[in-house]
């Protein structure tokens, strides 16, 4: 495995139908002040993905889904790991450096940090949950986006897969035998166990962060122009997520009181607590 300059973070990318965007993301990662090692899993069997700036590229003839993230995280030699989608990129060169302290402050190595998340409630679907900082026009879940307070971190049940950061130690308890494409659900639920609101959305991904009004949050992650369909456009995508989320919420009930939707004047706590 090639080795790049010493760093604290390994970023894992997956390429399939957007190689130009993957190359651009690699270039932007190399410009970050916190320069991560870069691992790329190429799912497209029709061509070999090549980029000398990446530290490790695997060209595969099968879609790794969740497997490639777990495999790369387990192989990483850095204390922190991350993964991001190929449909967004960075607005400035300090994003990773500003977000990484949020990961370092986590009380448990099983906690995740991301830019977008969901708070789930008993009896409600994934789409009806509190969706935090979901970009406008991205997926059907925007209809349920709700304000959650003015703070730099917000506790969530799920960190959406668009970008996720974690302690590398969290990978040791994960299995590569899981092949479902809902990688974010698998990581969030497996690592949380039966703990609710275990993970965090970090306001460091946004300038002028105000969780009471998403319009005031200036994102530091920029969407590429929509070019083709993603997983969220597949038939049954949201139905699958609804079922998986409610099954997990119900499984949490023996250890936790029923989590009902809070009243409008209630805000989530902003501390990094391991037992929320």
Least confident range from 74-83, 97-106, 139-148, 237-246: namely 139-148
> What pLDDT digit, counting tens, does each position of 105-148 carry?
999 999 999 999 999 887 788 888 888 875 443 344 444 444 44
Burial class (CB in 10 A: 0-12, 13-18, 19+), 205: buried
> What is the per-residue DSSP string for 23-77?
HHHHHHHHHSSS--EEEEEE--TTS----TT-SEEEE-SS--THHHHHHHHHH--
3-state secondary structure of 275: coil
The structure's pTM equals 0.83
> What is the per-residue DSSP string for 153-207?
EEEESEE-TTEEEEEGGGGGG--TT---S-HHHHHHHHHHTT-SS-EEEEGGGEE
Closest CA to 86 of 43, 126, 45: 43
Structural domains of the chain, ranges and CATH numbers in brackets: 9-255 (3.90.550.10)
Q: Is residue 191 over pLDDT 60?
A: yes
Mean pLDDT of 256-271: 46
Q: How confident is the model at residue 7 (pLDDT cuts 50, 70, 90)?
A: confident
């Amino acid at each position: 495995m090639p080795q790049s300059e010493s760093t604290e973070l390994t970023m894992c990318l997956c390429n399939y139908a957007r190689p130009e965007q993957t190359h651009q993301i690699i270039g932007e990662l190399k410009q970050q002040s916190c320069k991560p090692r870069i691992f790329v899993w190429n799912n497209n069997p029709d061509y070999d993905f090549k980029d000398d700036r990446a530290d490790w590229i695997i060209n595969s003839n099968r879609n790794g889904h969740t497997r490639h993230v777990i495999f790369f995280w387990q192989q990483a030699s850095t204390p922190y790991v991350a993964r991001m989608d190929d449909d967004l990129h960075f607005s400035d060169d300090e994003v990773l450096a500003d977000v990484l302290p949020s990961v370092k402050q986590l009380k448990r190595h099983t906690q995740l940090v991301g830019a977008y998340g969901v708070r789930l409630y008993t009896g409600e679907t994934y789409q009806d949950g509190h969706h935090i900082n979901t970009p406008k026009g991205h997926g059907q879940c925007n209809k349920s986006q709700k304000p959650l307070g003015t703070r730099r971190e917000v506790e969530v049940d799920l960190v959406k897969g668009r970008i996720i950061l974690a302690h590398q130690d969290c990978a040791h308890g994960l299995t590569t035998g899981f092949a479902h494409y809902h990688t974010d659900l698998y990581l969030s639920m497996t690592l949380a166990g039966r703990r609710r609101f275990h993970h965090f959305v970090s306001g460091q991904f946004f300038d002028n962060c105000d969780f009471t009004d998403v319009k005031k949050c200036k994102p530091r992650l920029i969407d590429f122009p929509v070019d083709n369909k993603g997983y969220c456009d597949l038939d049954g995508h949201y139905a699958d997520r609804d079922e998986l989320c409610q099954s997990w919420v119900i499984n949490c009930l023996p250890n936790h009181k029923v989590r009902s939707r809070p009243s409008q004047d209630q805000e989530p706590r902003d501390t990094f607590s391991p037992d929320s």
